[in-house]
Structure 1
Amino acid sequence: MSARLPNTVPQDWQGETYHGRPVVKASSFDWKVSAYIVMLGIAGSAQVIAAVARRQPGSAGLVRRARWLALAGSMVGPLTLVQHLKTRSRWFNMLRIVRPTSPMSLGSWLLTGFGALSGATALGAWLGRRWPLAGRVAEAAQGPAALAGAGMSIYTASLLSSTSTPLWAAAPAPLAAQFGTASMAGAASALALVQRAVGEERSARRLETLAMLAGAAELLAKRETESRWRRAGIAAPAKEGAPGALLQGGGTWLGLLAPIAAHALGRAADRRGGRAGEVLPELASLAMILGGAAMRHGVLLAGNESACRPRDAFRVTQR
C-alpha cells in the first residue's frame, strides 16, 4: 500500500496535502440548497414582520398574508431540501436525536418547530372566524413563531460556518448578519409586492422602507464578511468566475445598489404623481429578492471553490 495517489489538486500548491488531495472535501450543495436557504429565510423574517405588524392598527391583512407566506416557505423549503438529500428517510433520521453541539441537529428541530408554529398562526387565524379558540391559539403561537423565524433567518449561515470549508468558517458572525438582513429584505420585498397587488399601498411603502434599511444593513455586513476573507487571504474564490459574478453582479448590484436607487427614484416620482412611482418600487422589490438568492448561491459556490484550495484551508486552520 505504498503506491502514491495521483495529484488531483488543481492548484500549484506544492506543500503538504492529504495523499495528494485537497485538505477538505467540497460540499454537495447545489441550487436546491440555495433555494431552501432563500425560502426559509424569507419565511422566517415574514413571521417577525407579522409579530410586529399585528400591533399596528389596520394591519390585519398584512399579518394574515405574512403568516401564510411563512407557512408556505416552511412547507416548500423542506420539500426542496429532501429532494437534495435524495432519500426521505435522511430527514426523519435527523429528528431521532437532539444534539446541542450539532448545528444540523438543532437546525432540524428549529425548522420542525417553526413549521408547526407557522401552521398554528396561519390556520388558527383562518379557523378563528368560526372557532374563537383557534384564533386564541394563533395569537399565542405568534410570539414563539417570530422567535423561531428569527432563528430561521440566520441558522443556515451558522450551519455553513460550522463546517471546515475555509470561506464559510472564516467569517461566522458577519455571514450570519448578511444572511439575516438579506432574509428581512427579501420578506419585506415579497410582502410589499403582495400589498401593492391588493391595493394597500401605504403598508407597501412601509415595507419597502424596511427592505431598504435591511439592504443597507446587508451592505455593511457584506463589507465586514469580505474584509475578514481578505485578512485571512482566502477572498479569491468570491471574486472570480461564477461565484464572483453572483456575489458582485447579482448580490451587490442587482440585489442591493439598484433596488435602493430605484426605491429612492420611485419615492421622488410618486410625489409628482407619475407612473414610475408605481413601477420602480415593484421592480426594486423583485430585484432585491432575486439578488438575495444570487448572493446565497454565490456564497455556496465560492465556499466549494475554497474547499478545493489547500492553501486556503491551511491559512484558516493556522489562524
Structure 2
Amino acid sequence: MVEDVEFTSYYGRPIVKAPPWGDEIGTYLFLGGLAGGSSLLGFGAQLTDRPGLRIASRMTAIAATGIGGAALVADLGRPERFLNMMRVVKVSSPMSLGTWILSGFGVGSGVTFAIELDRITGEKLLPLGPLRKVLHAMETPAAVESAFFATPLAAYTAVLLGATAVPTWNAAGRNGLPYVFVSSASMAAGGAAMALAPVAETGPARLLALAGTAGEAYAMSAMRKRMHPAEIDPLDDGEPGHKLHRAEKLLIAGAVGAAAVEVGARVFAKKLGGGWKTRAVLRGLSVVSGAALAAASAYTRFGVLEAGIESTKDPRHVVEPQRARLEERRARGITDDSITTGR
C-alpha cells in the first residue's frame, strides 16, 4: 500500500506568496460595492421623486467612497502611489482601470453630495454665490456620470482578485466572483437605504436588496460548483468559513425581513390606516433587516479576501487543482501544446 501523499514545497515555504492585504483592503472591497449600489439608487430616486431615498443614497455613496478610498491609500502606504497609477491607462490591468473607475465615480458622487448638502443647509453653508445655479444645473449629468461608473466599481475588485495567482481567488474569478460581488453590492446598498431612508420611499431599495440576496445566493452556489474541492476548502474552513457562514445567515434573515417590510408597506399599512404603531414596527424592522443585509455583504467580502490568503499557505490548494486540470486536458486529447501536458 502506498502512503497518502503529503504535499510539501521547497524549505517548507508556500508555493504562492500571500499578498500583504489586510483589513484595509477588505474595507475597500465592501465600501466600493456599497458606494456603487447607492449611487444607482440615488439616481433612480432622483428620477422617481423620492427625496428621502435620494439624500440617504447619495450621502451613503460619498461616505463609502471617502472611507473606502482612505482605506485603499492606507494600504498603499503613501498617497502618491495612488496618483502614480493615474499616469497611464492600462486596459489589461484591473488595478489601473480600477483607479480610474474610482476617480471617475468620486467626481460624480462629490458633485451630487455638494448639491444635497447645499439643499439640506438651506443654501447657506456653501459660499457659492452665482456659481450655485451652475452647481445645481450639473445634478443630472453628475448623477449619470456616477451611475455609469457604479457597476464597474462594484465588480472590478472581483476581476482584480481573479487576476492574481492566489488559488482560491483565481478559481473564483474564473467561475463567477464578479456576479457575487455585484449582487453583494446591490444587497448592501439596498440594506443601507432601508436603514436610513423613510419606509414609504424605500420600495426600490427593498427590491434591489431582495434581488441582490437572490443573486448572491445563486452566484455563490454556482461558483462553488465549478471550483475544485481544494480551491473551495478555504471558503469553508477557519475564520474565512465562519465569516461566509455568518453572511449566509444574515442574508436569509435580512431577506425575510425585507420581504416582510415590503408586504407590510403594501398591505397592512393600508388596512390598518398607517397608524404610528404600524409605522414604528415597519420602521424598526426595516432598520434591522437593512443592517443585516449590509453586514452580510461585508462578511462576504472579508470572507472571500481571507479565504484567498489562506489558500496560499497549503501547497495542496495549488497542486491538486493544477493536476486535475492537467488530467482533464489529457483526457480531451490535448497532449502536444507544451511540455507540461505531454506524457
Letter in 2 for 1:92: L
Q: Tell me the distance in 2 between the aligned counterparts of 1:34 and 1:221.
A: 20
Where in structure 1 do 4 or more consecutive aligned residues deviate above 6 Å? none
Q: Tell me the distance in 2 between the aligned counterparts of 1:107 and 1:210.
A: 24
Asked if the contact 1:71/1:119 (under 8 Å) is kept, the reply is: yes
Letter in 2 for 1:34: G
Where do 1:146-295 residues align within 5 Å? Answer: 146-172=147-173, 173-195=175-197, 200-229=198-227, 231=228, 233-248=230-245, 250-254=246-250, 256-266=251-261, 271=268, 276-295=281-300
Moved more, 270-279 or 108-117: 270-279
Larger radius of gyration: 2
- What TM-score comes out, normalization by structure 1 length? 0.85
Percent identical residues: 28
Deviation at 1:104, TM superposition (A): 0.9
Residue from 34, 44, 57 that aligns with 2:36: 44
Corresponding position of 2:18 = 26
Q: Tell me the distance in 2 between the aligned counterparts of 1:159 and 1:316.
A: 21
Aligned-pair RMSD on alpha carbons?
A: 2.3
- What TM-score comes out, normalization by structure 2 length? 0.80
Asked if the contact 1:157/1:175 (under 8 Å) is kept, the reply is: yes
Deviation at 1:183, TM superposition (A): 0.8
Q: Tell me the distance in 1 between the aligned counterparts of 2:36 and 2:282.
A: 29
Corresponding position of 1:5 = none
Letter in 2 for 1:223: S
Deviation at 1:125, TM superposition (A): 5.4
Q: Tell me the distance in 2 between the aligned counterparts of 1:268 and 1:125.
A: 31
Q: Tell me the distance in 2 between the aligned counterparts of 1:137 and 1:282.
A: 32
Q: Tell me the distance in 1 between the aligned counterparts of 2:226 and 2:94.
A: 22
State the secondary structure of the residue aligned to 2:138.
Answer: helix
Cα distance change of structure 1 residues 204 and 104 upon mapping to structure 2, 3 Å threshold: same
Cα distance change of structure 1 residues 264 and 144 upon mapping to structure 2, 3 Å threshold: closer
Q: Tell me the distance in 1 between the aligned counterparts of 2:79 and 2:283.
A: 44
Asked if the contact 1:122/1:138 (under 8 Å) is kept, the reply is: no
- Encode CA deviations 1:6-44: one digit per residue, 9 max, x unaligned: xxxxx9314xx4554222111121111111111111111
Letter in 1 for 2:310: E
Asked if the contact 1:125/1:134 (under 8 Å) is kept, the reply is: no
- Encode CA deviations 1:31-72: one digit per residue, 9 max, x unaligned: 11111111111111111112222221x313322332222122
Deviation at 1:266, TM superposition (A): 4.6
Deviation at 1:73, TM superposition (A): 1.6
Q: Tell me the distance in 2 between the aligned counterparts of 1:48 and 1:268.
A: 24
Asked if the contact 1:170/1:316 (under 8 Å) is kept, the reply is: no
Letter in 2 for 1:258: A
Letter in 1 for 2:45: A
Number of corresponding residues: 299
State the secondary structure of the residue aligned to 1:258.
Answer: helix
